[in-house]
Amino acid sequence: MKTNAVVSFKGLKEIKAVINLTGSKSESNRALIIAALSKGTVKAENLSDAADTVVLNQILTDLAHPSATERRTVNVGHAGTAMRFLTAFLSTLPQQFTLTGSKRMQERPIGILVDALKSLGADISYEKNEGYPPLLINGGLNATLSEVSIKGNVSSQYLSALLIIAPTLPNGLLLHILGGLTSRPYLEMTLNMLATAGVTHKWEEDTIRIEHQEYQPSVLTVEPDWSAASYWYSIAALVIQADITLTNLKEESLQGDSQIQQIMSHLGVNTLRADHGIQLISAADAPLAEVMNLKDCPDLAQTIIVCAAVKKLNLSFTGLETLKIKETNRVLALQTELAKIGVTLTEDNEVYTLNCDQLVFPEKVTISTYDDHRMAMAFAPLSLVIKEVEIEDYQVVEKSYPDFWKDLQKAGFTVEEI
Strand pairing class (241-247; 269-274): unpaired
The distance from CA 118 to its chain's CA centroid, rounded to whole angstroms, is: 26
Going by C-alpha positions, the residue among 186, 159, 160, 193 that lies closest to residue 44 is 193
DSSP state of 141: -
In 115-215, beta strands by DSSP E: 123-126, 135-138, 147-151, 173-178, 202-204, 207-210
Q: Residue 313: helix, strand or coil by DSSP?
A: coil
Task: Return d(Cα 402, Cα 377) in angstroms, integer.
Answer: 11
- Helix, strand or coil for residue 222? coil
CB atoms inside a 10 Å sphere around CB 131: 12
Strand ranges (E), 139-274:
147-151, 173-178, 202-204, 207-210, 218-221, 241-247, 269-274
> How distant is the alpha carbon of residue 110 from its chain centre?
17
Q: Please say if 299 is a catalytic residue.
A: yes
DSSP single-letter state for residue 215: P
Q: What is the dihedral of CA 27, 33, 37, 43, to 10 degrees?
A: 50
Contact 343, 309 (CB under 8 A): yes
163 alpha-carbon distance from chain centroid? 18
CB 124 within 8 A of CB 137: yes
**If DSSP codes are grouped into helix, strand and coil, which group holds residue 282?**
strand
Set 225, 296, 299, 371: catalytic member: 299
Name the residues annotated as catalytic: 299
